[in-house]
């Protein structure tokens, strides 16, 4: 696989801010933007009673958004 096809594959897999998905921890549909906001706020502010605190699904969404 050359560099341009690898870049294309990553770009096709990346999540967009407006995309919706079902959050299995909040039991509702959320956008990537909402998930990122809640995940970052819960972890940066150390809100341990938030379902988003150290959420494995939020970490995965964050990685997919950034293209990692």
pLDDT tier at 65 (50, 70, 90 boundaries)?
Answer: confident
**Residue 10 pLDDT more than 50?**
no
CA distances from 21 to 12, 16, 24, 38 (A): 17, 11, 9, 14
pLDDT tens by residue, 26-45 = 999 999 999 999 999 999 99
Q: What whole-number distance in Å separates Cα of residue 61 and Cα of residue 20?
A: 11
**Residue 13 pLDDT more than 70?**
no
Q: What whole-number distance in Å separates Cα of residue 18 and Cα of residue 33?
A: 7
Q: What is the model's pLDDT at position 27?
A: 93
Residue 32 vs residue 12, higher pLDDT: 32
């Amino acid at each position: 696989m050359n560099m341009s096809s690898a870049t294309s594959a990553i770009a096709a897999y990346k999540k967009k801010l407006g995309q919706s998905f079902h959050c299995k921890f909040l039991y509702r549909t959320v956008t990537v933007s909402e998930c990122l906001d809640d995940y970052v706020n819960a972890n940066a502010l150390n809100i341990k009673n938030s379902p988003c605190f150290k959420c494995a699904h939020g970490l995965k969404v964050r990685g997919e958004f950034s293209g990692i």
